[in-house]
Amino acid sequence: MLKFWSALLAVPALLLAAAPASAQTDPEPEATTVAPRPKTTEYYSADHRLLPTAQGASYRLETTYRDSVAGTVRMYDAAGKLQRITAFGHVRLQVRHGATTTWYDTGQMHTMEGYQANQRHGELLVYYPDGKLRRRDQFVKGLRTAGECFGPDGQPVPYFEYRVMPVYSEGDGSNMAVVQAIQRRTTYPQAALRLALNARILIGFTIDAQGRVGAVHIEKEPMPEQIAPSLRAAFQEIKSSALEAARQLKPFRPGQLDGQTVAVSYSVPITFRIE
């Protein structure tokens, strides 16, 4: 399943500059080292929900840190086969920096793509299951500068986009159209109105290869643990209403990856404000 990633932090490139000659030099600062964080293993369900144990897991993620924030995440399926390796400049913020490589179940390489500060940079290579090249794209800081596609026989074919996001069937089909559709269908609870409670909720769901919405859930819990029971109860009502509204979304035009319709994990922030 394709999952689209976002990030808030860019990783700066290392800059080296020559200093002018001088009769006196400042003492160099003592080198400091930051011990890498310990390796972690997490287990997830088919709809990408974190599980407490390996029981019932669809896949697992093993994270090896290079320092306190940067590291490499390896994804294994339920059978233990390596599916993906992703280098991150910041693991928690999901800032890709370096190579991301994926494999078919047979062990044959499927894709290899480069990132710099969470932008595509360098080559994107896609292979057929038999190892023949399917696509070669060139990127510079997120902008595609060249691209070519090939058929199973190795001959060039007309170029097509590698990744196409789902399009909603209302309004202009954009992310904002999805947000507005959920807001219109959400019934604001009376308790929240009495308390003049404003809320911001991140709702996640899956759009399958037929464009249908499923696996609707709250992706992040913004409410602090220590909160008045009345506020917590009202917020829970808002969440329940928003989730039901998301379940009522109309079908999407399915997303595509390398010309194939695929299931896509989708998330939208929904803001509710009393005015």
CATH code for the domain of 239? 3.30.1150
Single pTM value for the model:
0.69
Cα 126 from chain centroid (whole Å): 20
Q: Judge whether 54 and 48 are in contact, CB under 8 Å.
A: no
Q: Which of 47-56, 69-78, 85-94, 112-121 has the lowest mean pLDDT?
A: 47-56
Residue 271 pLDDT: 83
What value does the mean pLDDT of the chain take? 84
Which residue intervals of the chain are DSSP H helices? 175-185, 190-194, 229-247
Confidence class for position 169, pLDDT limits 50, 70, 90: very high
Q: Count of domains in the chain? A: 2
Residue 4 pLDDT: 36
9-22: per-residue pLDDT in tens? 333 332 223 333 33
102-115: per-residue pLDDT in tens? 999 999 999 999 99
Domain boundary among 139, 159, 179: 159
Q: Judge whether 117 and 12 are in contact, CB under 8 Å.
A: yes
Q: Which stretches does DSSP call E strand in 66-198?
A: 71-77, 82-90, 95-103, 109-116, 119-127, 133-140, 143-150, 156-157, 163-164, 167-168
Is 90 domain-assigned?
A: yes
Q: Which of 7-21, 89-103, 214-228, 240-254 has the lowest mean pLDDT?
A: 7-21
140-153: per-residue pLDDT in tens? 999 999 999 999 99
146 and 181 in a single domain? The answer is: no
Q: Judge whether 71 and 91 are in contact, CB under 8 Å.
A: yes
CATH number of the domain to which 96 belongs:
3.90.930
What residues make up the domain containing 268? 167-272
